[in-house]
């Protein structure tokens, strides 16, 4: 374990891995089988939710008359199909990672279920990049509650005020802020006005420099 007193924690989907369009393709395929076309304005509603919460909310919202386990199994199959064909890291991630790991403890907190992380380990060796990983299955409450980030902070043995979190979903931002951390929002599919709750907003990972991280850590929350 690194002896550094500060940490940088990454969200996964839409921050380090370009999974958002892959989930969207899989979900379009899944819901299309049930005659449902999800309105474009609805996509941002579900980003950042844990898998179980996503299926609960979406099945209710679009009146899906199917056994939940059957529906989820289909969804997982279609997501894995997309991952195998099109998975890639976000531009700038490796450069940012190489800058950060020399100076800070590093963790990953995601709402994605553990089985997706096991799949990603096979594809890209995800576990090898982070000191600890918290999945959507690892805490009693998920984002937007602070529990996942508080759990990671405890594992890394740092204080919230010494932690910078990089997020891209509204629920993830709320979770990170509720945990008492410094928060950087990455632009993506979430409306700008919802990102405004973060301490900083960037358009891509290349804009996150060591100077920006240090600047945030010096600010009082």
- Residues marked active site are found at 11
Q: Residues 6 or more apart from 17 whose CB is under 8 A from it?
A: 87, 88, 89, 90, 93, 120, 124
Contact call for residues 42 and 198 (beta carbons, < 8 A):
no
Residue 9 burial (C-beta neighbours within 10 Å; 0-12, 13-18, 19+):
buried
As a whole number of angstroms, the distance between CA 88 and CA 215 comes to: 30
- CA-derived radius of gyration, the chain: 17
Please list the helix, strand and coil fractions of the chain in percent, rounded to the nearest 5, in that order. Answer: 50, 15, 35
As a whole number of angstroms, the distance between CA 96 and CA 141 comes to: 29
């Amino acid at each position: 374990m690194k002896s550094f007193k500060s940490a940088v924690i990454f969200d996964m989907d839409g921050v380090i891995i370009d999974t958002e369009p892959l989930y969207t393709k899989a979900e379009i395929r899944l819901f299309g089988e049930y005659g449902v076309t999800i309105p474009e304005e609805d996509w941002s509603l579900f980003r950042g939710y844990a898998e179980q919460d996503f299926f609960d909310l979406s099945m209710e919202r679009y009146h899906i008359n199917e056994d939940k386990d059957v529906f989820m199994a289909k969804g997982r199959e279609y997501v894995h199909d997309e991952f195998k064909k099109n998975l890639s890291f976000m531009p700038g991630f490796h450069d940012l990672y190489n800058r950060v790991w020399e100076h800070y403890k590093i963790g990953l907190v995601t709402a994605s279920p553990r089985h997706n992380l096991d799949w990603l380990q096979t594809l890209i060796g995800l576990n090898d990049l982070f000191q600890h990983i918290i999945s959507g299955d690892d805490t009693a409450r998920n984002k937007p509650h602070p529990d996942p980030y508080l759990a990671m902070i405890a594992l890394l043995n740092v204080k919230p005020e010494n932690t910078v979190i990089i997020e891209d979903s509204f629920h993830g931002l709320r979770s990170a802020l509720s945990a008492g951390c410094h928060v950087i929002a990455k632009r993506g599919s979430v409306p700008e006005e919802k990102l405004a709750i973060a301490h900083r907003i960037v358009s891509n990972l290349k804009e996150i420099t060591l100077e920006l991280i240090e600047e945030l850590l010096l600010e009082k929350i």
